[in-house]
Structure 1
Amino acid sequence: MTEHRDRARAANIFDVARLAGVSHQTVSRVMNDLPNVRPATRLKVEEAVKQLGYAPSPAARAMVTRRSRIVGVITTGAADYGPASTALHFNEAAQEARYSVLMVSILTATRGGVRDAIDSLLRQNVEAIVLISNSRSILDAVYEIEIGAPLITVDSSAPAGRDAVSIDQYNGARQAVRHLIELGHREIAHISGPLDSPDAQERLRGWRFELAQHSLVAREPHLGDWTAQSGYEIGRSADASSESTAYFVANDQMALGLIHALTDRGRRVPEDVSVVGFDDIPESGHYRPPLTTVRQDFAALGHLTMSKLLKSLTDTELHREDHIPAVLIVRESTAEIESVRDSKFRRA
């Protein structure tokens, strides 16, 4: 009995949402007796609240009733191209919807720092919060917080039931690797981003899966940090596999550093080694050679984030992650492996 009471006292809004099979925003609406909740849904929530003995905090109860037409955006980490572009286009979409945006940027994110940023935004009466972070640990920490306002995350591997948006990193990676396989490459190395990054994890997962689909070996990936310097150092290192005829690199900046290093070592791109990047930053078409890469539509992602936010303010159903497809852009940094070219030449 004591154990049951302890669990009940510890219950939070997400426990209720999971038990009732609805979003945490719906639980907030029921607890604050707001409209636009189906009777059957309201009953499920009330039963879950009773079963768990949930009692919302006064701040959480008050927050859901505020209508300020202000939204908060928290970004973490360095101002990399993808997150910065997503935030920029989100701001554009918010202005089109006649919402004001309060921005908080945290260079070195900690759980406490992000919690403080959320509290600061809530004190300024934001209607919802958007978190743009490429840190799995920070995203997971925020998911554990009872915010009392809709939370939208840019998260390519969000837990079920979260309001999240992303570009399809996994299938983008598979496209890149499949392209190299179709060119005849069988030793395809990978330079990954930081392993705390959901995007890096999904690109790594896609690389491994596509190789497995073609019965190819996924050797130990090289770990980069998104910078061109890390790509260069990996390309120059003694343990960079000389057997690899192709590299799938987790972003364009690291691909730039890799191409620089390969050139310094006397290996030609794409004649000796093919390279595929990820992002399609504006400069990638001007690399030497122009870079084959996976394009992410950050403008569409920013607008999708705002669309998701607006829906979260009114919808009562359990939410899910929404993906935007990634698109392979073939340029001049990839070519058929020499043995395939020679075979075609002999047949001709």
Structure 2
Amino acid sequence: MGFGHPGRALLARIGQFLLLAQVLLTAQAHPFYNHSIAYTGEDNHSNNLVERASASEFTALSRNTKMLVHDSCTKRMNLQAWQTVLDALTVVAQHGQQTASVTYQIIDHYISTDNPTLNDDNRRMMDLFMTLYGSFKWDDVSAKNVARARAQRLSEIATIFANGLAKNTMHWRWMCDSKEWVVDPNNANAWMIKNMDLSPRGKKETSNICLMPANSNGVQRLAAAFVLDAPRDVANSQPDWITFCDGAWSELKYQMHQYLNQASVTKLHTEQSWIQSVIYNTWERLLAHELFHGKAAFGAYAGIDYQYGWNDIVQLAKDSNAETDVNEHKPLKNNDSFSYWLNGVYLTYCNFSNGQCKPISQPTTGNP
């Protein structure tokens, strides 16, 4: 049984979402080393109330009116460009919402079938799902029940993400200059937005809010962006805060729809391009990662940074596959797992089962 392609109807809409010239460049491979981080702020809010520094410093976007953009961001791109970025992200998110639903339907439909025959498109979806969220044997009903629960949870997450963008329910404050964050004069271990006494607080762990704490090897890296959640603002809404660090602007060069033309299809197939080289410098990759941190939107489902990058998130799926409780399954909470899955399934001509873009008509390896 074949399930309908989840994204064909959406592709016709892509043409209207062309980004302004400052973020449109020719695609190229990029090594990933700058990672995004999230400061949840759960234990370091010194105030339960958050207010804007000044109404003049934040401006609502034209369609996503609950997305308030700081003046530091409009110095980078104008408001229409920011809205265009979110419009394009919405298309990718809606495609992911449909794909997650189809993935669940496939597993559910074949829950009692030992060796189903999947069409190429369904196999593409299932292969990436198994790679990032745990493999299973089709003749193992118990394992399929676990996989079905994972697919259902992924579908719930993808729906929250897509609807939050499309239905204008996500509350965010966007900032584009880390220098807006200073050490709290009343708490040397906390960051706050300058001139905002009622600012959200982020735990101060390094000398720069965009500098990540040292890893197990003693290496510190610069973040592309960070997210901080805040309990409430003066409108009694629950915004999340995202700040783009200086390093982000060397990464945010492309958009996923640029890979939909025939030249890109041929190039990615011929070179069997690695997924991280394709998606890493896109807005959709970074924003899917960062917005999934948002507790205002995702609540208990909000993401956690367990692992970064393709190799490590694939290993995370393998290491976590024995976990049967979806609430404890780390890949479902891992931000990079969600971002790689969302952007990977969007490129419907690629089977990324092993991380490389292979034509979907070719047999795949690495999964049952």
TM-score norm. by structure 1 comes to 0.24
Higher relative contact order (CA 8 A, sep 6+): 2
* Structure whose alpha-carbon radius of gyration is higher: 1
TM-score norm. by structure 2 comes to 0.23
